[in-house]
Amino acid sequence: MSDKATVHIVDDDLAVRQSLAFLLATAGIGVRLYDSASGFLNCLAGASAGCVVTDVRMPEIGGLELLRRLKAAGSSLPVIVMTGHGDVALAVEAMKAGATDFIEKPFDDELFLQAIRSTFQNRSAEDSGALATRLKLESLSRRERQVLDGVLAGKQNKVIAHELGLSPRTVEVYRAKVMAKTEATSLPDLVRAVLNSGYG
């Protein structure tokens, strides 16, 4: 595996770092581990290629801040952000700040590896998908769009329901329709597609 295929893992949790290293090793992907964002930033000169996987929550410098600093330093490394449960709002923010992808912990190995691999590939294919996504979004009804806005704002179903004067059950139905119309396979997939289309 070339240097291009190196994954830089930035996470303050030792077990998470080791388990990710193990997982990627089984997939034949090289890793370098950092226990903090500042540790990684110090070694940035030697990490010109590959991608970055970082937790959004870390002491001192969090994932979002790391993203911003990388952009500020002129780095073009793709960054995948890992989030915990209920941090959709943070994830959306991360995507807006330029994250390539985000993934909810704990995650399926295939989903994760696919996200890693896609960062190694040419991104033009996804760009061409933007128009298609935009067309799909335009087919949403007013209610579906309102529910989508709520989801993108990181709100929970019951909050969206309260705000729209609907029952949580109805919001769930709209949300499923949105996923179907946009052909998104997961929430990150939906967020990513919408953000790439320039809708948000």
Partner 1 sequence: MKTSSSTDSPSVDLSILFSTLSHPYVAFERNLVVAAASEDYLRQTMTTRKDVIGRHLQDAFPMNPSGGSETLDAMCASIEEVFANGKKTDLRSRRYDIRRPDFDGTFEERYWNIQNVPLVLDASGAVAYVVQSIEDVTDSQLKIKNAEDRFRSAEERFEATFEQNAVGIALIAPDGHFLRINTHFGDLLGYDHDEILGKTIGAMTHPDDLEASTEQVAALLNGVGLPYTIEKRYIKKDGTPLWVRVTRTLVRDLSGKPAYFVAVAEDIADRKAAEAALMQREAYLQSILDTVPAGMIVIDHQGVIESFSRAAERQFGYAAGEVVGRNIKILMPSGDRERHDDYLQHFNRTGEARIIGKDRVVTGERKDGSTFSLNLSVGEISPGSRRHFVGFIQDLTDRQAAEARMSELQAELIHVSRFTALGEMASTLAHELNQPLTAITNFLKGSRRLLDQGGEAHGAMLSHAVDQAADQALRAGQIIRRLRAFVERGESERQRENLPKLIDEASALALLGAKEGGVRVSFALDPAAQTVVVDRIQIQQVLFNLMRNGIEAMQDMPIRNLQVATSLKTDGMVDVMVSDTGTGLAPDIASNLFRPFMTTKPTGMGFGLSICRTIVEANKGRISAGPNPGGGTIFRFTLPTPETEESGHVG
- Rounded CA-CA distance 126/107 in Å is 22
Q: What is the dihedral of CA 9, 12, 15, 16, to 10 degrees?
A: -40
**Minimum distance of partner 1 from residue 26's CB (angstroms):** 4
Q: How far is the CB of 143 from partner 1 (least distance, A)?
A: 20
Using rule CB under 8 A, residue 173 touches partner 1: no
Q: Show the CA angle centred on residue 92, arms to residues 7 and 164, nearest 5°.
A: 155
Calpha distance 134→200 (Å, rounded)? 11
Among the listed ranges 11-19, 38-46, 124-132, 186-194, the one in contact with partner 1 (CB under 8 A) is 11-19
Pick from 44, 36, 37, 48: nearest CA to 6: 48
The nearest distance, CB 20 to partner 1, in angstroms, is 6
Query: Segment 19-38, which members bind partner 1 (CB under 8 A)?
Result: 19-20, 22-23, 25-27
Contacts (CB under 8 A) with partner 1, residues 71-110 = 82, 84-87, 105-109
Does residue 159 interact with partner 1 by CB under 8 A?
yes
The helix (run of H) or strand (run of E) holding residue 174 is helix 168-182
Residues within the interface to partner 1 (CB under 8 A): 13, 15-16, 18-20, 22-23, 25-27, 57, 82, 84-87, 105-109, 155, 158-159, 162
